[in-house]
């Protein structure tokens, strides 16, 4: 079966994409507005981009009323954000922060998520996150207009925090202990607990 996107409503395309491009890592993005109020929301159109320069991307689409989401508005103002990673024990609170709280409500407070200051930027991070990336925005691309219109935020990673007990004696993450979750289609998630290794072939 082939679906030509030109003939499909964007809602159906979205539904196909989130089922097919899966599992997706989740960026639990913290930002701060001009008045100093912090914001926290999950984004799973998210990935690393490269290590030189160290950068990552995530994509906050416009809301159903066509307005930009608070996360994007805040980054446009401050140029700074933190991507916190989500482990299984934080699934419920991460999901709560996805509710459309009014702009003057901090999800940190509304959802009882503890925050701690960052080192390089003026945006708090999630205290209990297994890892967090302090970022400054490198580029923001507006790819679409109106409801669901896509925006792409590319951030330079200034610092990486990892919980002390999750780092091996060489300073690298103990990947099997992070217990990260990923997003699938609909309201489904996956837990990273079924791993296997493949050695890269040598020619
Ligand atoms: C696991 C998860 C992943 C999400 N991924 C995205 C995403 O990639 N892009 C997006 O625009 N919204 C995404 N959302 C919805 C936003 O989190 C939601 O619209 C939120 O209210 C935005 O908050 P803000 O306005 O404070 O930025 C996701 C929600 C969940 C629960």
DSSP conformational letter for 73? H
Residue nearest atom 14 of ligand 1, based on CA coordinates: 43
| φ, ψ for residue 119, nearest 5 deg | -100, -45
pLDDT (0 to 100) of residue 49 = 98
- The model's pLDDT over 75-95, given as tens digits with 9 standing for 90+, comes to 999 999 999 999 999 999 999
Distance of CA 61 from the midpoint of ligand 1 (Å): 8
Residue 71's SS3 state is helix
How is the chain split into domains, by residue range? Answer: 5-191
Q: How far is the CA of 147 from the centre of ligand 1 (A)?
A: 14
For 140-158, write each residue's pLDDT tens digit: 999 999 999 999 999 999 9
Q: 5-191, which class in CATH? A: mainly beta
Residues with CB under 6 A from ligand 1: 26, 39, 41-45, 59-61, 69-71, 95, 98, 100, 183
């Amino acid at each position: 079966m082939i679906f030509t996107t030109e003939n499909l409503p964007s809602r159906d395309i979205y539904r196909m994409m989130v089922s097919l491009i899966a599992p997706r890592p989740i960026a639990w993005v913290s930002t701060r507005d001009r008045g100093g109020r912090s914001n926290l929301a999950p984004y799973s159109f998210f990935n690393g981009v490269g290590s030189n320069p160290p950068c990552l991307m995530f994509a906050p689409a416009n809301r159903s009323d066509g307005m930009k989401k608070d996360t994007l508005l805040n980054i446009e103002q401050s140029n700074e954000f933190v991507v916190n990673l989500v482990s299984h024990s934080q699934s419920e609170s991460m999901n709560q922060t996805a509710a459309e709280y009014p702009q003057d409500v901090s999800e940190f407070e509304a959802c009882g998520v503890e925050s701690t200051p960052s080192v390089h930027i003026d945006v708090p991070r999630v205290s209990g996150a297994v890892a967090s990336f302090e970022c400054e925005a490198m580029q923001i691309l507006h790819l679409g207009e109106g409801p669901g219109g896509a925006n792409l935020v590319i951030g330079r990673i200034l610092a990486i925090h990892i919980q002390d007990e999750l780092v091996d004696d060489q300073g690298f993450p103990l990947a099997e202990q992070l217990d990260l979750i990923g997003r699938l289609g609909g309201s489904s998630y996956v837990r990273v607990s079924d791993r296997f290794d493949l050695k890269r072939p040598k020619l």
